[in-house]
Amino acid sequence: MNIPKDPIILLSYINTKLRDEFPTLEDLCLSLSINQTQLENTLSSIGYKYDSKSNRFLPN
């Protein structure tokens, strides 16, 4: 599956998927064949970190 390349659009896409379809980031990454570390690094580069309690990426 192709995911957005732009980090800001990617953030919105991933948070929407987490909210609507996946109970954890790991489940999302496995289902969409996304490298979790790479995803977290990309979103970290724009100041966001995954919060497992809220199951979404939040500003650092």
Spell out the alpha helix ranges (H) of the chain. 7-20, 25-32, 36-44
Per-residue tokens: 55: 């199951």
Does the predicted TM-score (pTM) go above 0.75? yes
Reported as a pLDDT band with limits 50, 70 and 90, residue 1 is: low
| Cross-strand pairs, 50 | 57
2 pLDDT more than 90: no
Are the C-beta atoms of 39 and 14 separated by less than 8 Å?
A: yes
Q: What are phi and psi of 48, to 5 degrees?
A: -120, 145
Phi and psi at 25, nearest 5°, equal -65, -40
- pLDDT for 21-50, tens place per residue? 999 999 999 999 999 999 999 999 999 999
